[in-house]
Amino acid sequence: MATYLYITPTSEHPPGVTASLVMGNVLRIMQLCTDPADIDDKLEAFMDRLCSRGHQHSTLLPLFEKAIINATNYLSKSEASKLAVKTLKAEAARRTVYLHVPFMSDNPSSAFIQRCWRDCVAEPVGLPPLNCMQNIEENEVEIDRMIIAYHRSQNLGNLLSYRKIAQRTGPKVSSYL
């Protein structure tokens, strides 16, 4: 409810963070509220808070529409179908390689990196796909896709946290202040 805690549209977060924030909070609101009027009120308040942080209503509206459809579909599924989806996702995750990189707005986009991966590694022209090849031990290479996993760069809090300072040798930090 504290609007200053919501990220601004100009922050250096990866591009999917705002969409994930909307998707997750819409699902949470729809799971916790039973009265449709309460759901509408909470969704409107959430939209207003994001707009007060500088997000544009026109860019948020499609995210909210998609999030409501996803949440409605998810909540209408039976527990058996949810378990089946989790099993399929677990198998897909086992066949996925993750590229962990720090997010910087000047770096190549994840779409460009994915295209390079697909064209040069996963499905090179004139060669068999990666998941149809065998490794040196003649086992199938069980990699179907790559996910770009962004993480933020370290900030001063990470570098100067009490735990890290306590482990350092030499003069105390307070001697420099």
The fraction of the chain above a pLDDT of 70, given in percent, is: 92
Q: How far apart, in whole angstroms, are the C-alpha atoms of residue 79 and residue 84?
A: 9
Q: Using one digit for the tens of pLDDT, what is the confidence trace for 130-165?
A: 888 888 898 888 898 899 988 877 777 777 766 655
In the chain, where the domains are located: 3-76, 96-156
Average pLDDT over residues 84-95: 88
Residue 61 has pLDDT above 90, yes or no: yes
Q: Which residue has the higher pLDDT, 159 or 34?
A: 34
Q: How many CB atoms lie within 10 A of CB 25?
A: 19
Q: What is the pLDDT of residue 26?
A: 96
With a cut of 60, say whether residue 66 has pLDDT above it: yes
Per-residue pLDDT at 94 exceeds 80: yes
Which of 17, 27, 110, 24 lies closest to 55 in space, CA to CA? 17
Q: Is the Cβ–Cβ distance between 115 and 166 less than 8 Å?
A: no
Say if residues 54 and 7 touch (Cβ distance below 8 Å). no
Q: Beta-strand (E) ranges in the chain?
A: 96-102, 145-151
98 neighbors 149 (Cβ within 8 angstroms): yes
What is residue 162's predicted lDDT score, i.e. its pLDDT? Answer: 65
As given in the structure block, the two tokens for residue 21 are 């924030």
| pLDDT reported for residue 106 | 86
**How does residue 5 score in pLDDT terms, banded at 50, 70 and 90?**
confident
Give me the half-sphere count of Cα atoms (radius 13 Å) on the Cβ side of residue 10: 2
| Least confident range of 21-35, 48-62, 69-83, 161-175 | 161-175
What per-residue confidence (pLDDT) applies to 164? 58
pLDDT score for 173? 61
